[in-house]
Amino acid sequence: MDSKRPLILISNDDGYQAKGINELTDFLRDMADIIVVAPDGPRSGMAAAITSQLPVTLSLISQTEGVALYKCSGTPVDCIKLGLETVVPRCPDIVIGGINHGDNSAVNVHYSGTMGVVLEGCMKSIPSIGFSVCDHDPDLDFTPTRTYVRNIVAQVLKKGLPVGTCLNVNFPKYAPYKGVKVCRQTIGRWEKEWVSIPHPRGGGSNLYWLTGNFANHEPQSTDTDRWALDNGYVSITPTQIDMTAYALLDEMKGWEF
Amino acid sequence: MDSKRPLILISNDDGYQAKGINELTDFLRDMADIIVVAPDGPRSGMAAAITSQLPVTLSLISQTEGVALYKCSGTPVDCIKLGLETVVPRCPDIVIGGINHGDNSAVNVHYSGTMGVVLEGCMKSIPSIGFSVCDHDPDLDFTPTRTYVRNIVAQVLKKGLPVGTCLNVNFPKYAPYKGVKVCRQTIGRWEKEWVSIPHPRGGGSNLYWLTGNFANHEPQSTDTDRWALDNGYVSITPTQIDMTAYALLDEMKGWEF
């Protein structure tokens, strides 16, 4: 790897064979050296989970001009932790999660393995970006995201990001996009989340599949990531790892313990 | 269940057989009806992970006066989602995660399955509290936490919590405690996180175990959860589900896309 070029560490939660992560690598390979350390299979919905009970494995899959690809048996966060400690020749300039097949706006930031990647990079004080498209199609055409991805990465390479902050970028399902909105996280929640069927082996128990609908509790607010996406804009939600509720902290100084 | 008593939904990430969740239930059973929906085994470090690819199962283990206990094959967050949609007779007054065997202060909030439980309750607009002790001993003596747990739960039952906020309560390893500090999340990071050994079957690959040390980047700050815990105080970190970095949001309005 050329130590004069920027270095980007990439992972995802769809696995190293997913189209999104391979498209992302292609979009960026002329801009930087790239190391991919990605799960060996799908890890959607893994959030910032870590593998605490068992060991994980790491294998080099391919090494070509400026791009090294590893698979890891752990979670998306494990991939970043292991990549940073055992693979990279120097501290990466950026950590990227994605491109995810599926929406990571609003409260999905908490469930997303892609954003787990990004939060982990951020916790290591590396500028970090998550890219997601609001479409689960495994054969999705990522071409419309290309210019935006390159532009956002170029600006973060140039300007950096404040320590403790990262970017959660989501693309609408349908292109062409109308432009970019810098947004806040939408207030809302998932509802009707379970589909159940009697266990095929009988015995009176059920099997439950997680599904559901996201209810936007502030559909009229035009400064949210869901509004941007619902109206054809690419959303960028600046995100932070400090989850302290400072207003409540002040209020609780009056509590008695 | 008595519809005039408060209702508390409890889960954890150590599994329904862990001492911490059973002690918690005993501490609170005279104050409220209790429904426990907990993982069928350890799920430490599962964060807010959800089971997205496979179905999960739910089984009633026991039902005694005012306490119903269920086990679930899914993640801590699955337990809350499934408990709320299929088990509870009415909306719980509080959701509680814990008592966890292990520290969930500082950035651990992002990795913790116990805090996954709490964030999920919070996302459903239910006042939610996580309790954790900075000690992984499975036979830990939880007695010193009892009065604090009951006091904090009683105050949250009385006062509620602002929508979108929850509490991350941690107890020091050693009792007696000096009192309670309401704190912010400590800035710091995990370091030297991997121990590797050659794979016992040979072949030149390694197995990697996640471990590491937490480095507090602001040890002199006396308003953080790590400071409180290191100095013998019970820490309460008010926590929010809105992860928007508002300062960066303002700054990025000057970026060009």
Total Cβ atoms within 10 A of residue A180 = 19
Cβ within 8 Å of B, A 142-181: 148, 151-152, 155, 159, 161-162, 164-166, 179-180
Contact across the interface for A85 and B193, Cβ inside 8 Å: yes
* Local confidence band at B201 (pLDDT 50, 70, 90 cut-offs): confident
Domains in chain B: boundaries? 7-183+221-249, 187-220
Report the interhelical angle of B19-28 vs B146-159 (nearest 10°). 60
Fold exhibited by the domain B7-183+221-249: Stationary-phase Survival Protein Sure Homolog; Chain: A, (3.40.1210)
* Local confidence band at B256 (pLDDT 50, 70, 90 cut-offs): confident
Total Cβ atoms within 10 A of residue A236 = 24
Over residues B21-43, the mean pLDDT reads: 97
Burial of B111 (0-12, 13-18, 19+ CB in 10 A): buried
Contact across the interface for B182 and A252, Cβ inside 8 Å: yes
* Local confidence band at A69 (pLDDT 50, 70, 90 cut-offs): very high
Contact across the interface for B152 and A257, Cβ inside 8 Å: yes
Reported as a single tens digit per residue, the pLDDT across B6-16 is 999 999 999 99
pLDDT of residue B253: 85
Distance of alpha carbon A81 from alpha carbon B48, whole angstroms:
18
pLDDT of residue A257: 80
Contact across the interface for B182 and A48, Cβ inside 8 Å: no
Total Cβ atoms within 10 A of residue B33 = 24
Query: What is the interface size between A and B, counted as CB pairs within 8 Å?
Result: 225
pLDDT for residue A251 is more than 80: yes
pLDDT of residue A201: 86
pLDDT for residue A132 is more than 80: yes
Report the interhelical angle of A146-159 vs A19-28 (nearest 10°). 60
What's the full length of chain B, in residues?
257
Reported as a single tens digit per residue, the pLDDT across A157-205 is 999 999 999 999 999 999 999 999 999 999 999 999 999 999 888 888 8
Of A48, A124, A162, the CB nearest to B111: A48
Reported as a single tens digit per residue, the pLDDT across B58-85 is 999 999 989 999 999 999 999 999 999 9
Average model confidence (pLDDT) across chain B: 96
Residue of B nearest to A109 (CA): B243
Contact across the interface for B241 and A107, Cβ inside 8 Å: yes
**Contact of B91 with B126, CB cutoff 8 Å:** yes
